[in-house]
Structure 1
Amino acid sequence: MSWKFWQKTKEEDNKPRKKKTRSREWLDAIVFAVVAATIIRVFFIEAYTIPTGSMERSLLIGDFLFVSKVNYGARIPMTPVAFPFAHHTMPLTGTKAYWDGVQWKYRRLPGLSDIKRNDVVVFNYPQGDTVALERQDVDYYQMVRSEGWSAVNTQYTVVSRPVDKRENYIKRCIGIAGDTVSMTAGLVSVNGKPEKLKNTGQFSYEVTFKSTDVNFGIFEEMGFSMRSADPDIMQMSQNSYAFTGSELMMDKVRKLDFVASVKELSKPAGQAEIDVFPHDPNRNWNVDNFGPIIIPKKGWTVKLDSASMPLYERSIRIYEGNKLEKSGNGWLINGKPADSYTFKMDYYWMMGDNRHNSLDSRYWGFVPEDHIVGKALFIWMSFDTNGNFFNKIRWSRLLRGIH
């Protein structure tokens, strides 16, 4: 190093650095905050809110949750070019909040544990790959079944969404990969073992009173909602009412001296519902009676025939990205004849705790592992949107863990 070069470098180091302007300092701080918050949100923890009653009474409308990305392993963004803090739609303009010109393969960092039965899980809605923008509150495929493909695609703006930009749902994991699930008269069985609804879950009951003179205020004190928008009690006949409540709540109702009987309300076996998975006219399944269904597991091979294809066709074609075609009495997968298929991912069966008010796996089937977002940990804030000004915060639910 020459003496002149060393001297010049020393003089430059001794020069006073130009001070940043106030606006530049604010800009640097904002950029740092956005980058740091994005990293935390993508790889560690994210806040969610409960918009519907499908998980009542485990989770209530107005609950704000922290969801861990670490427990199951953070998913590497599959659509990396996106506006920070927006999911799929910009809040003011209503335009797309991402660019799907760049798509990365599904990858996940190592997690602390696998998904277990009864975990409360946040995931991307599996059938959210196609959406009618004017009717985003309604499942596109359900609209097609009821209105026809041509009518839906001519009346509405239909778009497709990448996996990580589909709507976020929260449900309880009833079955993991490899399990066999079924339901009889509203009671779920996993691997042949009946699994009663958790005490915080809700079911429908028919309550018959001994007379028409009933003080319904007592039911409000028990925790039943009497709001006109979403009542837990609805009249069926002169002395009979349909109640929606937990098993513990209904045990208290049974003990009332003016109650004649309490029985569970479920659809009869054999009464088919076309909107119930797998939408197969040869299966007389409904929301309270279905199965058995084997949940696909990575490495599991299924025989392809008329019985299995309604259950697994969407998983093979859409979730695992194969070209699937019918060829005579057989099938072509990616142009090659196939009489079996080996799954590349694990799948899960998710259901809401509010059994008769939940859009869940009974309607759209399996949740693939690449749709899993994270595990719900605890409630950090809860607002009762129907409460008065001083009663809006549900203090008893703050910092409550989710089980």
Structure 2
Amino acid sequence: MNVQALLGNFALILFILMVVSGVIWFYDRFSLAPKRKAAAEVALAAFDERNARLKAQGIQVDESGRQTLKEKLLKKPTWVEYSGSFFPVIAAVFIIRSFLWEPFRIPSSSMVPTLQIGDMILVSKYSYGIRLPVINKKIVDLGDPQKGDVVVFKFPKDTSLDYIKRVVGVGGDRVEYRNKKLIINGVESAYQPLGDYLDTESLTYSREFVEGLAGTDVRHHILNDNRAPTYVRHPDRFPNRHMCTYNVEGFACTVPEGYYFMMGDNRDNSLDSRYWGFVPDEYIVGKAFFVWMNLGDMTRIGGIR
């Protein structure tokens, strides 16, 4: 793993920090702390013996220094105090982020209008099973992504990057996109026109539709740009590329078992499976389910359809 990939793998960085701080915490608790306590007991016993001897000689002694001495002897070294004290916090964050929920921020407009740039979302890490952190290996199967789910996954061309798209095809499905209409297993999705949609970032208009995803009860909003071509421009030579055909009207792909076909809701402004291919199951991160913050528009807070 190169340096850039390492820096981009926050889960790995968090894991390393947890291990290092945990080792320090346990080393202090079970080794250094008992030694400090034993040394303090010896020193305090000597302190008490000295004071008792002075009192027996009729000499007045100052007892206030005992507590100061005790605190000094039991005080953790600075490197232990700062390193070990972070362990419980780092461990809690690591467990929550790895097994329960992980926050993401939407950086692009590929999922508009469903998700806007700046949306801060929560992703359920357990919806599709429990995976080992860092290596992302599934150890408990709780289900698979379904057509219509909005999913975060590792980008197949660079797994240090996380992408978010909508699942439109699972293993065995025949996914077609002809003249900007999605066809799944020979059934065309239903489209209800809503009018023009203004993209406030680019100040351009697109046609907005409610798409009833074929073969499901999922209904969600999509955008089409009438100025964009119907065909896919310059698709990559991705793995299993032979299972796809492209022409001037669009494309057709048969999804391999154990893979998913992803598309953005902003159909003419999304680099997705049409261009770089299928997403293997081991690259799935989790299911996006909630927008918890958008600093530019607080009305965005709510569930994801």
Residue identity (%): 34
1:44 CA displacement: 1.9
Counterpart among 231, 248, 259 of residue 203 in structure 2: 231
1:20 CA displacement: 3.7
Counterpart among 175, 186, 195 of residue 180 in structure 2: 186
State the alpha-carbon separation in 1 of the partners of residues 99 and 254 from structure 2: 32
> In the alignment, residue 397 of structure 1 is paired with which amino acid?
R
Aligned residues: 221
- 2:250 alignment partner in structure 1: 289
Answer whether contact 2:126 2:142 (CA < 8 A) is retained: yes
Describe the shift of the 1:178–1:272 C-alpha distance in structure 2 as closer, same or farther (beyond 3 A).
closer
1:397 CA displacement: 1.4
Describe the shift of the 1:273–1:21 C-alpha distance in structure 2 as closer, same or farther (beyond 3 A).
closer
- 2:89 alignment partner in structure 1: 33
Describe the shift of the 1:29–1:179 C-alpha distance in structure 2 as closer, same or farther (beyond 3 A).
same
Q: Structure 1 residue 169 and structure 2 residue 146: aligned?
A: no
Q: TM-score, normalised by structure 1?
A: 0.48
- 2:18 alignment partner in structure 1: none
Mapping for residues 3-402 of structure 1, pairs under 5 Å: 19-21=74-76, 23=78, 24-78=80-134, 107-128=137-158, 163=159, 166-196=160-190, 224-225=198-199, 230-232=202-204, 243-247=205-209, 264=226, 267=229, 273-275=233-235, 283-285=245-247, 289-291=250-252, 293-297=253-257, 346-383=258-295, 392=296, 394-398=297-301, 400-402=302-304
State the alpha-carbon separation in 1 of the partners of residues 171 and 192 from structure 2: 21
Describe the shift of the 1:72–1:20 C-alpha distance in structure 2 as closer, same or farther (beyond 3 A).
farther
Instruction: Tell me which protein shows more helix as a share of its residues.
Output: 2
Instruction: Say what the alpha-carbon RMSD is for the aligned residues.
Output: 3.3
1:351 CA displacement: 0.2
State the alpha-carbon separation in 2 of the partners of residues 198 and 125 from structure 1: 31
1:364 CA displacement: 0.9
Answer whether contact 1:120 1:172 (CA < 8 A) is retained: yes
State the alpha-carbon separation in 2 of the partners of residues 284 and 177 from structure 1: 19
SS of alignment partner, residue 175 of structure 1: strand
State the alpha-carbon separation in 2 of the partners of residues 197 and 111 from structure 1: 34
Answer whether contact 1:273 1:285 (CA < 8 A) is retained: no
1:111 CA displacement: 4.3
Where structure 1 has 5 or more consecutive residues not aligned to the other structure, the ranges are 1-11, 80-105, 129-162, 206-218, 233-242, 249-262, 298-345, 384-391
The CA deviation string for residues 285-316 of structure 1, in whole angstroms up to 9 with x for no partner, is: 36x6111x21111xxxxxxxxxxxxxxxxxxx
Instruction: Tell me which protein shows more strand as a share of its residues.
Output: 2
Where structure 2 has 5 or more consecutive residues not aligned to the other structure, the ranges are 1-37, 45-69, 211-224
1:51 CA displacement: 0.2
Answer whether contact 1:120 1:171 (CA < 8 A) is retained: yes
SS of alignment partner, residue 95 of structure 2: helix
